[in-house]
Structure 1
C-alpha cells in the first residue's frame, strides 16, 4: 500500500527519512508508533482510479502499515489531497522544530557552542550524506562540509528566531 507525499523542501524530505530510518533509495515505511505515521494514516483518501500527479525530487513514496485502519486501502488507489499534503508538511515542520528546540536546549545546557550543536543535529539526523565522516576524497569532503554549513546556517537562523520569541525567566536575587 504505497502512497505519494511531496515534501516542501529537501530538508523536510531528509528529516522524514530520518524519522522512519529510511535510505534515499527505498520507500519510507510508516509506522503507527510514530506521530507523523499516525497522522499520515489518518489523512489518506482512496479512489477507484490512480493518482496521476507527477513525481519530482521532493516526492517520497510512503508505505502504509498493515492495520485494520488501512485494510480498505489494499484494494483501492490511495492518495493525499493537496490540503492534506500541506497539513502533513506543517506537521512535519512542527515535529522538526520540536526536535531541534529540544536538541538545541540540551546542547546549550551542556555548554556546547551553538554552531557545534547545530552541526551535531544535522549529522545525528542524517540531514546530509552519510559519507561525511568517512570520505577520503578532498573534493567530496569539501562539498559535504559546505552542505553541512549551508544547512547549519538555515537551522541556526531558525533556532535564533525560535529562541528570540521565548522570554528568559526572571533572575532571582
Structure 2
C-alpha cells in the first residue's frame, strides 16, 4: 500500500497492512491498540471489515500479484544514506553458494557504526560479499563479513545477536573498500 492508501504498484517496496482476525482470539488485545491501525478517515474500509493492522511487515508485489516478504520495520537500518532490511541482506547472503546461514549485526557502537554480515561459511569473507552482488543491490551489501562456525540462538530459536556480536568480535577492520 502506498502512503496515501492506494494500492502499491508492482515492484514497489512498501509496508503491507493485515486485515481480518476472525478465528484468532489471541489478536483481541492487538486490535484494541488504535496506534497500530491505519486512520479510518485516510484509509476507508468496507462496512464490517476489520481495520488494517500495521505489523511493520514490508514486501513487494510482482507483476502477477504475488507478495514477497522482504523484512520488518524493526529490522531496517540506514546504510550509506539508504534504508536497508537486515532480512533482505541475510536472504541474499544465504543464496551465495557455500553459505549455509547468515545474520546481520545492524550499525551501532559495537560495529563501528556500520552493518556487519556474519556468515556460516568456509569461504573467504570478500568472496561472500562479492557473491551477494548477483542477488541484491550494491548499496545494501555490508562492507564487512565475519565467518562464524554457527549462529548462536536463544531459547526461542532466534539468532542471539548480542552473543553473535561477542562471537564475531566485530570491532575490527573492513573486508571491502569504502
Which band: TM-score by shorter chain? Answer: under 0.3
- Tell which has more relative contact order, 1 or 2 (C-alpha 8 A, sep 6+): 1
The structure in which a higher percent of residues are strand is: 2
What is the TM-score normalised by the length of structure 1?
0.25
The structure in which a higher percent of residues are helix is: 1
What is the TM-score normalised by the length of structure 2?
0.25
